Amino acid sequence: MIAETISIAGHGGDEIEAYTASPSTDAARGGVVVIHHLPGYDRATKEITRRFAELGYDAICPNLYHREAPGAAPDDAAATARAQGGVPDERLIGEVQGAAAHLRSLAHSNGKVGVIGYCSGGRQSVLAACNVDLDAAVDCYGAFVVGTPPEGFPLPISGFPEQIPSLRCPLLGLFGNDDAHPSPADVDELERLLKDAGKTYEFHRYDDAGHAFFSVDRPSYRVAAALDGWERIEAFFSTYLGGN
């Protein structure tokens, strides 16, 4: 495996930092864009990126806070980006588009690219899949795909149910039944929208799991849900990103 930090062309063609990991083989393979959670481009997300390389994919995690805080420690960059209002949706779409184009340009690419995101990145994964040509998307407990944030919400985040009919690829959703955002009712609503629009999707909901159950470095970690979730992700990406 080769893992390194590089520059890619992001939204508007601007250079942004990204962490990449690729298998050291000549096999044709798909690519995976990893969208980090609100706490940032951190060690745990880079571990996830390397895990996708271990699974046989070219993986890339764009630093969504590079513009606000180039070269800063991930937690300081996250704090700076939050203080400035967070990542605008339009910019996020551009960054994922740039990351996907980078993956497709690699020598061993089979042309297929998926996206996965956790927490705020789960919402952004679905948003990207509604606006970027992707082959598979995974939403890990993203809040505000549907639903309205509380009144007076300071960051420019909103649900986008009207975009669900534009979803361009199959969606895998992984949710904890003890989560409040997204709540089981929010997940029901997203499932209804997907069904009504005739989209291909696969949802799994876990008991004894709340938000962030994949986070191995947080008290929210739930080993049973996380292990099953990883198996679902592997199977899903193998189905939609595999082949030559």
Partner 1 sequence: MCTYATVNVKLEGSAKGAGGVGSKWFHVTDGTVYFDHPVHAMADHTLNIDFADPSRGPGARVAVELTAASARELVSAIEAALASAPAEMTV
Give me the residues that bind partner 1 (CB under 8 A), please.
37-39, 42, 68-69, 72-73, 75-80, 82-83, 86, 119-120, 141, 143, 149-150, 153-155, 157, 179-182, 210-212, 218-220
CA dist., res. 125 & res. 140, Å (int): 9
Q: Least Å distance between CB 186 and partner 1?
A: 10
User: What's the CA gap between 89 and 11, in Å, rounded?
Assistant: 11
3-state secondary structure 56-86: CCEEEEECCCCCCCCCCCHHHHHHHHHHCCC
Which one-letter amino acid corresponds to residue 108?
H
If the CB atoms of residues 184 and 210 are measured against partner 1, the closer one turns out to be 210
Question: Between 103 and 128, whose beta carbon lies closer to partner 1?
Answer: 128
Q: How far is the CB of 198 from partner 1 (least distance, A)?
A: 29
Name the residue nearer to partner 1 (CB basis): 80 or 238.
80
Shortest CB 219 distance to partner 1, Å:
6
Q: How many CB atoms lie within 10 A of CB 154?
A: 9
Cβ 175 to partner 1 shortest distance, Å:
12
Residue 181 C-beta: closest distance to partner 1, Å: 3
Q: Can you tell me the distance from the alpha carbon of 190 to that of 4, in angstroms, rounded to the nearest whole number?
A: 36
Measured from the CB atom, the residue of 113 and 145 that comes closer to partner 1 is 145
Q: Give 22: exposed, middle or buried? Use CB within 10 Å, 0-12, 13-18, 19+.
A: buried
| Residue closer to partner 1 (CB basis): 106 or 216 | 216
Instruction: Give me the DSSP letters along 17-61.
Output: EEEEEE-SS---EEEEEEEP-TT-S-HHHHHHHHHHHHTT-EEEE
